[in-house]
Amino acid sequence: MKFSSFGEKYTGHSGIVDLMADLGEALHTRPDMISMGGGNPARIPEAETRYRDHLVSLLQAPDGAYNILGRYQSPQGDEKLLKQLATLLRDEYGWPVTENNVAISNGGQSAFYVLSNLLAGKFADGTSKKIQFPLVPEYLGYTDAGLEVDFFTATRPAIDLIDDHVFKYRVNFDELVINEETAALCVSRPTNPTGNVLTDAEISQLDRLAAAQGVPLIIDGAYGTPFPNIIFNEVTPYWSPNTIVLLSLSKLGLPGVRTGFIVASEALIQAYANANTILNLACGNVGPAIASRLFEHREVIEIGRNMIMPYYRDRAMQTMDWFIAAMGDVPCRVHKPEGAIFLWLWFDNLPVSSLALYEILKEAGVLVIPGHDSFAGLKAPWQHTQECIRVSYAQDPALVKKGVEIIAREVKKLYANG
C-alpha cells in the first residue's frame, strides 16, 4: 500500500509513537516494570473523590445522561462553559476576555496540532513559516505536529549551574532570532520535560518580541496557571491579546476525558473553531460537564492550589534528594524542579547516547524518556542533547525510590566501564 506525503509522515518513525508503543508493550510483557517514563498524572484520592462525586451528580440529574452522552457540542464548545471560564479568568486574574476569546479542544495535543498548522507551514504566496521554540528542550509531543518538514526552529538555552547537583535553563535572548520566517513563538510553562518555569520577566519579554514581529506567543499551560497550577514558585498567570494560552484538565487528574481550552484573540478562536469542526466535528461532553462544575465556584483553583500542587512539590523534592544521594560521584545534575511532574537529569559526558541509556534501563526494569527527541528545531549539533533523560515521580513513592536506585546503579556501571 502506498501512502500520501501525509501518510508517509504520520506512519513513519516518530519519537512519541515509538515510545508510547514501547511503553505499552513493556508494561504488558513485564508487569513488574517500573514506569517512570509516561506523563500519566498521579492518583490523588481527595481530587478523585471530587471528580467522581461531580460525575455521579451529573448523571443523576434530569436528562443528565442525555446531556453528556446524547448530543453534540457547538463548534467552539458549550456556551455556558465558555462564559464560566471567561468569567473566572477575568475575576481571578484580570484577563480582559469574554466567551469569544475561549474555545474547547479535545485535549492540548489536539489543540496544538490545529493551531500550529493554522499559523505555520506553506502559504499561498509560496513562502514558509516556522514555529520557534525560544527555549529547548521542549515537549516531545510537539516534534511531529507539523504537516510540513522543517517545521520548527529553536534557540539553544543558557545554562546556570546552581550547585554541584542542580542546574537551570534560561532563555538566551542574545541568540534568539525572530524574523519573517517566524510564525509564532511557543513555550510550555512549566516546561515539559524539564520542570523549568519561565519567569514573569521572560514571558513578558517574549511577548513583546513576538508582538513587535507581528506573531503570537503560544503558552502551553497544561501543567501551569491558572490550573492545575503545578508550579512551585510564585508566578503571575499571563495573557495578552497577542498570546495563545493552552489549558488542560489532564494534569488535574482527568487525562481520560481529553479536554483542553484555548484562550486567544476572537479572530483566532473563530479560525480554530472552524478548523476543529472539520477535523473533529465536535468535542466530547464528559470533560466539559465536569469542568463546568469545577469552574462554577472556583473549585478548580482550590483543587490545584491545595491538593495538586503540594502533592507534586513534595514528591519532586523527595525524588531529587533520592537521586542526588544515589548518584554519589557520578557527574549528574538535576534541573531545578520548579513545576510539572518530572525531573530532568543531565549526565555530563555520558559514555552512551540517551537512547542507548533508555534501552539499558528498560532491560534493567525501569522505563524513562530519552532526552534527544526533546530538542526539535535545534540545527547545530550539541552533545548535551545526548546526555539527558526525563523521569516521572508521579508513581507510588516506593516504586519511584526503587527506580532511582536502579537508574543510579546502571549509570554508575557505564561511567565505571567508560
Per-residue pLDDT reduced to its tens digit, 262-286: 999 999 999 999 999 999 999 999 9
Helices 108-119 and 266-280, packing angle to 10 deg:
110
Last residue of a domain, one of 272, 298, 324: 298
Q: Are residue 214 and residue 252 in the same domain, yes or no?
A: yes
Residue with cell 555530563: 348
In a domain, 190, yes or no: yes
Q: Are residue 126 and residue 265 in the same domain, yes or no?
A: yes
Q: Are residue 153 and residue 241 in the same domain, yes or no?
A: yes
Last residue of a domain, one of 281, 298, 315: 298
In a domain, 61, yes or no: no
In this prediction, residue 48 carries a pLDDT of 97
C-alpha cell, 412: 554508575
Range of lowest pLDDT (9-23, 47-61, 356-370, 397-411): 9-23
- Average pLDDT of the chain, as a whole number: 94
The mean pLDDT of 245-256, rounded to a whole number, is 97
Q: Are residue 235 and residue 370 in the same domain, yes or no?
A: no
The mean pLDDT of 400-408, rounded to a whole number, is 98
In a domain, 83, yes or no: yes
Last residue of a domain, one of 267, 283, 298: 298
pLDDT at residue 142 greater than cutoff 70: yes
Q: How confident is the model at residue 18 (pLDDT cuts 50, 70, 90)?
A: low
In this prediction, residue 13 carries a pLDDT of 63
Could you give the percent of the chain with pLDDT greater than 90?
A: 87
In a domain, 269, yes or no: yes
Check which CATH number belongs to the domain holding 243 and give it.
3.40.640.10
Q: Are residue 331 and residue 271 in the same domain, yes or no?
A: no
In a domain, 150, yes or no: yes
pLDDT at residue 234 greater than cutoff 80: yes
In a domain, 64, yes or no: no
Q: Are residue 95 and residue 129 in the same domain, yes or no?
A: yes
In this prediction, residue 19 carries a pLDDT of 64
Count of domains observed in the chain: 2
In a domain, 56, yes or no: no
Q: How confident is the model at residue 64 (pLDDT cuts 50, 70, 90)?
A: confident
Q: Are 106 and 113 a contacting pair, CB within 8 Å?
A: no
pLDDT at residue 387 greater than cutoff 80: yes
Give, in degrees to the nearest 5, the angle at Cα 42 between 41 and 48.
Answer: 100
Q: Are residue 23 and residue 147 in the same domain, yes or no?
A: no
Q: By residue range, what is the domain housing residue 248?
A: 71-298
Q: How confident is the model at residue 373 (pLDDT cuts 50, 70, 90)?
A: very high
Q: Are residue 189 and residue 242 in the same domain, yes or no?
A: yes
Q: Are residue 27 and residue 91 in the same domain, yes or no?
A: no
Q: Are residue 209 and residue 349 in the same domain, yes or no?
A: no
Q: Are residue 197 and residue 282 in the same domain, yes or no?
A: yes
Classify the phi-psi angles of 214: left when phi > 0, otherwise alpha if psi is within -120 to 50, otherwise beta.
Answer: left
pLDDT at residue 309 greater than cutoff 70: yes
C-alpha cell, 286: 464528559
Residue with cell 479572530: 267
Q: How confident is the model at residue 169 (pLDDT cuts 50, 70, 90)?
A: very high
In a domain, 369, yes or no: yes
pLDDT at residue 22 greater than cutoff 90: no
Q: Are residue 118 and residue 263 in the same domain, yes or no?
A: yes
**CA-wise closest residue to 36 among 365, 325, 409, 372:** 365
